[in-house]
């Protein structure tokens, strides 16, 4: 191998990088970072992915699409405590929002999947969800003239990697930038009001920020539910298999009741809350979190200010602020 004088190269690159990062440096002060305005993706794959995402024929019973539980007009979930499975029964766990998922370090409450592709495949095969197999699905897609043409044009054929890539690419396009709080982070000091600023300070000083931070205000680490008080005792009712959390994936005792910290982006429009969908009201959710995760009992005015801050995390999809049918005036 021929060594190269790395100092000189670094110097050159440093110049380039400094120029390109001069203004980005402003973002570094806060533990929460704004979402990017756009992600560069192949529009053809996004379009194909969108079609697959909304197509109920992907399921074995031809009646359940990804979009059944992840409704863009519902904040990216279904607004139910627990989703409805293909047999019409309630599922075992709350459906998380589909928005901004690419910024989560793992997917699902249990963090079972590293990539969107892995997760999409698992859901297609999940007996409660699409309940299909590749042997069943691929011929279906090949048999559809439109799909066959699209796949052939983009990928040169219909293979399982291609189906997953298209779905995942579409999911990567589902981002909600430009929330009032992001505008605030980018320097617009009037984007949020005084109460929301106060709420953000409380959010930091109580310690919520220790887990809910980064670009997705969460979604980047695992944490046990019930550090200071037994969450499940507080909730009541029998323990379910979903309550075991990450233990279901690792079978490691230390992972009992450990969950991926959920993102708080768009939290105001993604009720009900928690993996069991047991709480409807955001202020109550904040109180429970303070109690079981921080060992604190904030007074009502603090809770109100934090809720107010959380509302500033609601972003825009395709230029329109997210809302649920219930939340629109």
Partner 1 sequence: MIRTAQRATLLFMTLLVALFALYFQAAHLESIAAAPERDVLRKLIRLDAEVSRDLLLIRSGLLLNYDSVNTGIASLYAQLTELRALPGSETEADVIKPLAQVIAQSEERIETYKSDIAVMRNSLLYVTLLAERRYMASTSSASAALHSGLAHLDDALLRYLYNPREPEWQSAQEVLRELKARSWPAALRAQVDELIMHGNVVLERAARIDAILRMLRTESISEYARHADQAYLERAQRAAEQARFYWGGILGVATLLAALLAVGALRLRFTTRELRRSRNQLSALFESAPDAILTADAQQRILTINPAAEMLFGYKAHEAIGKPLEVLIPQRFRAAHQGHVHAFVDESVESRRLGAGRCVVGLRKDGTEVTLEAAIAKVHTGGSAVLIAMARDISERQRMETALLASEVRFRATFEQAAMGMALVAPDGRWLRVNKKLCSIVGYRREELLERTFQSITHPDDLQSDLQYVQKMLDGSIANYAMEKRYIRRDGSPVWIHLTAALVRTSGGEPDYFIAVIEDIEARKRTEQERQQLAALVESSSEFIGTATLQGQVLYLNPAGYQLVGLDTNTLIGKRISDFLSPSVLEHAEQTVIPAIFRDGFWSGESELRHMVTGEAIPVQQYAFMIKDPSSGAPMYLANISHDIRERKQAETLIHKLNSELEARVRERTAQLEEANKQLEMFAYSASHDLRTPLRAIDGFSQALVADSGAGLSPVGRNHLERIRSAAQRMGQLIEDLLQFSRVARIEITPGNVSLSQLARAAVAQLAQLEPARQIDTHIAERLTARGDARLLAVVLDNLLNNAWKYTSKTPAAHIEFAAERQDGRTVFYVRDNGVGFDMKYAGKLFGVFQRMHSVDEFPGTGIGLATVANIINRHGGRVWADSAPDQGATFYFVLPE
Residue of 95, 92, 86 whose CA lies nearest to 62: 86
The token duo for 225 is 């539910």
Residue nearer to partner 1 on the CB measure, 197 or 224: 224
Shortest approach of partner 1 to residue 97 CB, angstroms?
A: 19
3-state secondary structure of 259: strand
Among 94, 97, 100, 223, binds partner 1 (CB under 8 A): 223
Q: Which of residues 118-147 bind partner 1 (CB under 8 A)?
A: none
The CA distance from 132 to 160, in Å, is 13
Shortest approach of partner 1 to residue 113 CB, angstroms?
A: 13
The CA distance from 162 to 243, in Å, is 34
Residue nearer to partner 1 on the CB measure, 66 or 286: 286
Among 73, 90, 114, 157, binds partner 1 (CB under 8 A): 114
3-state secondary structure of 36: coil
The CA distance from 144 to 150, in Å, is 10
- Helix locations, 3-105, DSSP H: 6-21, 43-53, 66-69
Residue nearer to partner 1 on the CB measure, 37 or 228: 228
Q: Which residues contact 67 (CB under 8 A, 6 or more apart)?
A: 53, 54
Decide: is 84 part of the binding site for partner 1 (CB under 8 A): no
Kindly indicate which of the ranges 66-74, 224-232, 263-271, 274-282 contains the residues binding partner 1, using the contact rule CB under 8 A: 224-232
The CA distance from 81 to 274, in Å, is 9
Decide: is 54 part of the binding site for partner 1 (CB under 8 A): no
Shortest approach of partner 1 to residue 140 CB, angstroms?
A: 30
Shortest approach of partner 1 to residue 248 CB, angstroms?
A: 16
Residue nearer to partner 1 on the CB measure, 90 or 187: 187
Decide: is 185 part of the binding site for partner 1 (CB under 8 A): no
Angle in degrees, 0-180, between the axes of helices 160-173 and 116-125, rounded to the nearest 10: 120
Residue nearer to partner 1 on the CB measure, 251 or 296: 296
Residue nearer to partner 1 on the CB measure, 43 or 299: 299
Q: Are 107 and 118 a contacting pair, CB within 8 Å?
A: yes
CA-based angle 217:239:269, to the nearest 5?
Answer: 30
Q: Give the total of residues touching partner 1 (CB under 8 A).
A: 43
Shortest approach of partner 1 to residue 174 CB, angstroms?
A: 19
Among 86, 108, 169, 213, binds partner 1 (CB under 8 A): 213
Q: Which residues contact 246 (CB under 8 A, 6 or more apart)?
A: 110, 111, 222, 255, 258, 259, 260
The CA distance from 258 to 52, in Å, is 32
Kindly indicate which of the ranges 160-168, 180-188, 216-224, 272-280 contains the residues binding partner 1, using the contact rule CB under 8 A: 216-224
Q: Which residues contact 267 (CB under 8 A, 6 or more apart)?
A: 273, 282, 310, 313, 314
Q: Which of residues 3-32 bind partner 1 (CB under 8 A)?
A: 4-6, 8-10, 13-14, 16-18, 21, 25, 28-32
Among 205, 240, 241, 326, binds partner 1 (CB under 8 A): 205
Residue nearer to partner 1 on the CB measure, 89 or 201: 201
Decide: is 233 part of the binding site for partner 1 (CB under 8 A): no
Residues listed for the chain: 329
User: What residue ranges bind partner 1 (CB under 8 A)?
Assistant: 1-2, 4-6, 8-10, 13-14, 16-18, 21, 25, 28-33, 105, 114, 205-207, 210-211, 213-215, 220-224, 227-228, 254, 258, 294-296
């Amino acid at each position: 191998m021929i060594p190269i004088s790395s100092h000189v190269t670094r110097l050159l690159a440093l110049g380039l990088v400094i120029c390109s990062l001069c203004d980005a440096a402003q973002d570094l002060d806060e533990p929460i970072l704004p979402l990017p305005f756009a992600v560069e993706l192949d529009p053809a794959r996004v379009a194909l992915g969108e079609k697959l995402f909304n197509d109920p024929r992907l399921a074995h019973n031809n009646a359940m699409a990804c979009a059944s539980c992840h409704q863009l007009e519902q904040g990216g979930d279904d607004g139910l405590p627990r989703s409805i499975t293909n047999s019409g029964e309630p599922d075992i766990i709350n459906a998380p929002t589909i928005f901004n998922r690419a910024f989560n370090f793992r997917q699902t409450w249990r963090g079972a999947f590293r990539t969107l592709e892995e997760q999409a495949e698992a859901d297609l095969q999940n007996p409660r969800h699409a309940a299909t197999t590749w042997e069943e699905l691929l011929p279906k897609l090949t048999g559809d003239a439109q799909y066959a043409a699209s796949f052939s044009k983009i990928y040169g054929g219909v293979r399982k990697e291609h189906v997953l890539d298209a779905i995942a690419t579409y999911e990567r396009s589902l981002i909600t930038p430009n929330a009032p709080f992001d505008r605030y982070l980018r320097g617009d000091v009037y984007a949020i009001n005084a109460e929301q600023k106060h709420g953000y300070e409380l959010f930091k000083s109580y310690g919520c920020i220790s887990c809910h931070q980064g670009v997705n205000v969460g979604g980047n680490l695992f944490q046990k539910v019930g550090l200071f008080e037994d969450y499940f005792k507080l909730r009541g009712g029998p323990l379910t298999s979903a309550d075991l959390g990450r233990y279901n994936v690792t079978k490691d005792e230390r992972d009992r009741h450990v969950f991926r910290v959920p993102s708080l982006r768009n939290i105001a429009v993604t009720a009900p809350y928690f993996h069991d969908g047991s709480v409807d009201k955001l202020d109550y959710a904040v109180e429970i979190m303070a109690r079981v995760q921080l060992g604190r009992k904030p007074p009502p005015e603090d809770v109100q200010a934090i809720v107010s801050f959380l509302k500033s995390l609601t972003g825009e999809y395709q230029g329109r602020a997210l809302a649920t049918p219930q939340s629109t005036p």
